[in-house]
Structure 1
Amino acid sequence: MSERNGLRYGLLGLAILVLLAILLLLANRADAPTEAPPAPPADAAKLASLAEINGQTPDGRQLEIHSWQTAEGAKVLFVEARELPMFDLRLTFAAGSSQDGDVPGLAMLTNAMLNEGVPGRDVSAIAEGFESLGAEFGNGAYRDMAIASLRSLSAPELREPALRLFEQVIGQPTFPEDALLRIKNQVLAGFEYQKQNPGTLASQQLFKRLYGEHPYAHPSDGTAESIPPISREQLQAFHAKAYAAGNAVIALVGDLSRSEAEALAAAVSAALPPGPALPRIGQPQEPAGGTSHIDFPSNQTHLMIAQLGIDRRDPDYAALYLGNQIFGGGGFGTRLMEEVREKRGLTYGIYSGFSAMQARGPFMINLQTRAELSEGTLQLVKDLLAEYLAKGPTQKELDDAKRELAGSFPLSTASNAAIVGQLGSMGFYDLPLTHLQDFMHEIKALTTEQVRTAMAKHLDPDGLVIVSAGPSVAQKELPPPTDNTAEQPAGVPEH
C-alpha cells in the first residue's frame, strides 16, 4: 500500500468513527425534548466588537443552582449543564488537618490512601478502572477540608461503572499496609527536602506563632515525628468519622437531569459511612506581634508578614477582597508591586492576601529580597500597609480594581470544573445560593471609605507577626524610589 493510499484509508476510517460517535450521541439524547430553543434576538446573534462593549461589564454565566439534602444528611448542590456530554462530581468533607487532633498528618494520610485499595482491587487496578472508562479521580486534603472528585462522561454505560468504582473508593478504602508504608516514606522524604527550603521553614514557624494551640497551627502534612506511628486502624477510625455522609457536601455539574442528579447523589451518599457533621472548630486567640528570624545560608531573605484575618462568612469579605486586590493581591499595578518592585527593584514579586476559612484565616504578605536590604524592605512594607489603612485607596484605584474584577470574575464560572469548585465552597462554608451574584453586587457598590474602614477594622499595623528566613548580614540603605522601572535583583529567586 502506498503512503498516499494509507493516508486516504486512515482518513476514511477516522470519518467513519466520527460518524458512529455522532449517531451514538443522537441515540442517547432520543429521550430529550425535541422542541427547538427560542431564537436569540437579532442583536445578540452576532459577535460584539470591543468598540460596541464600550467599557461595559461583561455578563457572567447565569447559574440555576438546585440544592437538597440526601436521606443520610449530605448537602447537595447541582447545576445542569448540557453543553458537553460529561459531568463533574466533587465531595467536600470537613476532614482537613484541623480535624487531626493530637495526630498531625492523620487527615492527609487518610485522604491520600483512599484510592490505594478497595475490596478486590489494588491501586493499579483502581487507576486502570477509571482510565478504561475515560474517567478521572482526584483527591486532596487541606487545613479546613478534604475532597474527592470524579469527572466522567455522562453516557449511562460509562457513568454507572465509573460511579460504582468511585463509591467504593470513598466508602470502602482498605488502607493496605504496604501502600501506607510507601506513602509515609514519600512524605518523610518531602520533609527532608523542606529543610532546604527557607520559605517553607518560615511558613511553618509563622503558623505556629500565629495560631499557637489552635488546630490551624501545625502543618497539614504532619511532622517527621507524627507520621511514622500513624496506624491503619487510626486511618479507618478517621475515615468512619470524618468521611460520614452527614459531614459531606456533594457538588455536581454537568449533562444530567435533576432526577438523574438526585439518584446519583443518593447513591454516593449511601456509599459513605453513616454519621453526622463534625462540630465546627473554634476561633483562634489573637497572637502577640513581633519579629523572629531563622538563620539560613542563602543570598536572599524570605519575609512573611501576617495577622489573623477573617472567616469565610464575615460580612466584610467583599470589601476586604477588593481592598486587598488594590494593595497587593492583584499582581502588577498594586501598591506593593509598584512601590517595592517597580520603583526600587527590591523583589521579583510581592503579594498579599486574605485566606478566609472556617475559622479566622491569615492575612499574609510574602516576598523575597536581597539579604542586605531585608530590614529596610520590611520597614517599607510596614509603612505602606500603615499608610493604606490610614488613607485607603484612591478613587482611580478603586475604579480600576472594580473594572478588572468585573472582567475576570466570569472566569470563575467559565467551565464545569470551575463551577463545581464554586458549589463545593458555597456548600462547605454555608454560603447562600445567590452568593456569586451577591458578591459582584457588593463589589460594584463599594466606596473608597467603605474599603478603608473594612481594612482598618481587621488589620493593625502594630500587631504584625513577622518571620524572616535568610542569612544574618550587615544591612544597607534602600535605593531611593524612581519613576523609571528599576533593575531587578540579580539571580534566580529562591522558592
Structure 2
Amino acid sequence: MMFRALVAAFAILLPGLACADIPIKEVKSPGGLTAWLVEDHNIPFTALEIRFRGGTSLDDPGKRGAIYLMSGLIEEGAGDLDSKGFAEARDSLAASFSFAASTDTFSVSARFLSENRDEAVDLLALALNKPRFDEDAVIRVREQVLSGLRSNLRDPSSIASQTFDQLAYGEHPYGSTGRGTLASVAALSRDDIVQAWKTALARENVYISAAGDITAAELGLIIDRVLGGLPETGAPLPGAAPWLLPPGVSVIDFPSPQSVVVFGQSGISQKDPDFFAAFILNEVMGGGRFSARLMTEVRDKRGLTYGIGTYLVGMDHSDSYLGQFQASNDKVAEAISVIRAQWAKIATEGISEKELTDAKTYLTGAYPLRFDGNAPIASILVGMQMQGMPIDYPNTRNAKIEAVTMEDVKRVAARLYQPEALRFVVVGQPVDVTPSP
C-alpha cells in the first residue's frame, strides 16, 4: 500500500517538471554501459527500465514462442529461491518487477523504494542472471500461453492482425506471432527456454534508463550489478522485413454479426525528415480525437462504426501505416469505400489550415502530459534511446511539430497516402465485399 501511495504522490508532483525542460543526464557505468537518468529526490522511489533489442524476432527457427514463454518464466524462481520464495522476497521489499517480450524488444521494468534499493537490485540481478526455469514452472506457464493461443484462435481481432502480418511480411519473423503456435509452444523444452534466455539478453543490445531518487554514480553501479554477468553478444538481429502486402481485400469467414477490419499500407520511418508532417497528417486522418476525418466520415455522418483509428507503426525492420474498425456485416463494404475515398482525398488535397492548427495544438499540448511520473519518464527515455533520438528530444519535439508548414503536409500527403495500395483484412461475414484474388 505504501509503495502505491508513493507512486501516486510522485505522479502528482511531476507535471510541473514535465512542462519545463526535462533534465536528462547520460550515465556511464564503470563497466562501460550507458544509461539515461532523470534525477529527482523529492520522493524516495526509483523506476528502472531495461530493454534488449531483438525480442521475439530472435526465436530460433522451429522454436517460435520460446522467448515469449521465457519472459513469463524468468520471475518464476531464481538462484536458491523457487517461484514462491522469489515472489515473497519481492513483495517483502514492496518492489515491482515485470518482464515482457514483444516483436523487437525484451523489456525489464523495476520499481523500488530507496530504503530497499540494494535488496531489490540484488533480487532483480538474480532473476536476470540466474533464473531457475524449474520444470513445474515451465509446464504451468506453458499451459497458460497455450490457453491464450487457443483463445486467440477464436478472437476475430487476433485473426485479423495475424492474417495482415502474414500477408505483409511472409516468412520474416514479423509475419508470425511471437507467442508461437499451439504446436511450436507445446514442443518447447526447458533446454529451449534456457537457450532463449541466452539469445535474448545480451549486453550489446541493451538500453537503460531510470527516473527518481537515484544519483548518476549510484545508477552506474546498479547497472553493472544487474547486467554485468550477462553475455556480451547474442543472436544476430533479423534483416529488413520486405513489405509484401498486395492491395485489395481479404475475407476470413467468421460467424458473427460484426466484422473486424484491419487495413493499411507501408509507412514512414521516424528518422525520415518528413515524419513530423506525416505524424500531423495521421492525427487529422485517424488520430485520437473525435474530430479526426475518419471518425467524422465513417462514424458521425454515416453511423458505420462506433470507432475507427489509424496509427503510424515504426518497428526496427519495417514501417507501416495501419487502421482498424468494427462494423456490422452489412456496413463493412460502405466503410471500406469511405476510407478509400478519404485516403485519396487527403493525398490530392491535403488538409485545411484549421486542421493543421488544431492538430498542432493537440499534439504539443498532450505531449507534456506523458511525463506524469517517474515510471512513464523512464519508459519514454529508454524508448528514445532505442529509436536513436537525441537526448534533448523532449525539449525540442514540440518545436519540430510547430515548424511543419502547410506546404510540408501537402507534399507529404501526396507521398504517404496510397489509396491504390491499401489492403483490408476482414474477419466476419461481410455483405457485398468481394475478396481479391
TM over 0.5: yes
2:260 pairs, out of 269, 283, 302, with: 302
2:113 counterpart of 1:153 = yes
Alpha-carbon distance, 1:383 to partner: 0.8
1:130 is matched with 90
What's the CA shift string for 1:301-324, capped at 9, x where partnerless?
111111122344333332222211
1:197 pairs, out of 150, 155, 162, with: 155
From the CA coordinates, give the structure whose radius of gyration is larger: 1
Aligned-partner residue type, residue 92 of structure 2:
S
1:422 pairs, out of 366, 380, 393, with: 380
Alpha-carbon distance, 1:266 to partner: 2.2
Q: Aligned in 2, Cα 1:382/1:82: closer, same or farther, shift over 3 Å? A: same
2:7 is matched with none
What's the CA shift string for 1:443-482, capped at 9, x where partnerless?
011112312322432332111122101115457xxxxxxx
Aligned-partner residue type, residue 322 of structure 2:
M
What's the CA shift string for 1:164-195, capped at 9, x where partnerless?
00110111111111111111111111122122
Q: Aligned in 2, Cα 1:310/1:474: closer, same or farther, shift over 3 Å? A: closer
Which one has more relative contact order, counting CA pairs under 8 Å at least 6 apart? Answer: 2
Assess if the C-alpha contact under 8 Å between 2:332 and 2:430 holds in 1.
no
Assess if the C-alpha contact under 8 Å between 1:94 and 1:278 holds in 2.
no
Aligned-partner residue type, residue 100 of structure 1:
D
Aligned-partner residue type, residue 64 of structure 1:
P
2:13 is matched with none
2:283 pairs, out of 300, 325, 330, with: 325
2:78 counterpart of 1:78 = no
2:188 is matched with 230
Q: Aligned in 2, Cα 1:474/1:467: closer, same or farther, shift over 3 Å? A: closer
TM-score (norm: length of structure 1): 0.80
Matches within 5 A, 1:79-228: 79-102=38-61, 103-155=63-115, 158-228=116-186
Q: Please give the alpha-carbon distance, in whole angstroms, between the structure 1 residues aligned to 2:90 and 2:239.
A: 39
2:322 is matched with 364
2:240 counterpart of 1:289 = no
Alpha-carbon distance, 1:262 to partner: 1.6
CA RMSD of aligned residues (A): 2.0
The SS at the match of 2:124 is: helix
2:22 counterpart of 1:63 = yes
Assess if the C-alpha contact under 8 Å between 1:304 and 1:468 holds in 2.
yes
Q: Aligned in 2, Cα 1:384/1:439: closer, same or farther, shift over 3 Å? A: same
Q: Please give the alpha-carbon distance, in whole angstroms, between the structure 1 residues aligned to 2:408 and 2:150.
A: 46
Assess if the C-alpha contact under 8 Å between 2:54 and 2:237 holds in 1.
no
1:344 pairs, out of 277, 286, 302, with: 302
Q: Please give the alpha-carbon distance, in whole angstroms, between the structure 2 residues aligned to 1:172 and 1:465.
A: 46
2:235 counterpart of 1:275 = no
Q: Please give the alpha-carbon distance, in whole angstroms, between the structure 2 residues aligned to 1:85 and 1:360.
A: 40
2:345 counterpart of 1:387 = yes
Q: Please give the alpha-carbon distance, in whole angstroms, between the structure 2 residues aligned to 1:119 and 1:94.
A: 25
Aligned-partner residue type, residue 318 of structure 1:
F
Aligned-partner residue type, residue 342 of structure 1:
D
The SS at the match of 1:293 is: strand
2:355 counterpart of 1:404 = no
The SS at the match of 1:227 is: helix
Q: Aligned in 2, Cα 1:72/1:307: closer, same or farther, shift over 3 Å? A: farther
Assess if the C-alpha contact under 8 Å between 2:30 and 2:221 holds in 1.
no
Matches within 5 A, 1:432-451: 432-451=390-409
Q: Please give the alpha-carbon distance, in whole angstroms, between the structure 2 residues aligned to 1:59 and 1:152.
A: 22
Q: Aligned in 2, Cα 1:458/1:214: closer, same or farther, shift over 3 Å? A: farther
Alpha-carbon distance, 1:142 to partner: 0.8
The SS at the match of 1:226 is: helix
Give unmatched runs, 5+ long, in structure 1: 1-16, 18-47, 49-57, 476-495
Q: Please give the alpha-carbon distance, in whole angstroms, between the structure 2 residues aligned to 1:59 and 1:421.
A: 14
Assess if the C-alpha contact under 8 Å between 2:261 and 2:424 holds in 1.
yes
Aligned-partner residue type, residue 377 of structure 1:
A
1:24 is matched with none
Q: Please give the alpha-carbon distance, in whole angstroms, between the structure 2 residues aligned to 1:312 and 1:231.
A: 39
Alpha-carbon distance, 1:334 to partner: 0.3
Query: Which has the higher mean CA deviation after the structures are superposed, 84-93 or 310-319?
Result: 310-319
Q: Aligned in 2, Cα 1:466/1:74: closer, same or farther, shift over 3 Å? A: farther
The SS at the match of 2:238 is: coil
Q: Please give the alpha-carbon distance, in whole angstroms, between the structure 2 residues aligned to 1:384 and 1:107.
A: 40
Assess if the C-alpha contact under 8 Å between 2:67 and 2:196 holds in 1.
yes
Q: Aligned in 2, Cα 1:308/1:79: closer, same or farther, shift over 3 Å? A: same
Aligned-partner residue type, residue 274 of structure 1:
P
Q: Aligned in 2, Cα 1:280/1:196: closer, same or farther, shift over 3 Å? A: closer
1:35 is matched with none
Q: Please give the alpha-carbon distance, in whole angstroms, between the structure 2 residues aligned to 1:252 and 1:71.
A: 17
The SS at the match of 1:256 is: coil
Alpha-carbon distance, 1:220 to partner: 2.1
Aligned-partner residue type, residue 286 of structure 1:
W
The SS at the match of 1:304 is: strand
Aligned-partner residue type, residue 240 of structure 2:
Q
What's the CA shift string for 1:236-283, capped at 9, x where partnerless?
122223212222111111111221122212222214x12136544322
2:426 pairs, out of 468, 474, 478, with: 468
Give unmatched runs, 5+ long, in structure 2: 3-15
Count residues with an aligned counterpart.
417
Aligned-partner residue type, residue 99 of structure 2:
N
Aligned-partner residue type, residue 38 of structure 2:
V
Q: Please give the alpha-carbon distance, in whole angstroms, between the structure 1 residues aligned to 2:341 and 2:218.
A: 57
Matches within 5 A, 1:450-489: 450-473=408-431
**Percent identical residues:** 31
Assess if the C-alpha contact under 8 Å between 1:312 and 1:357 holds in 2.
no
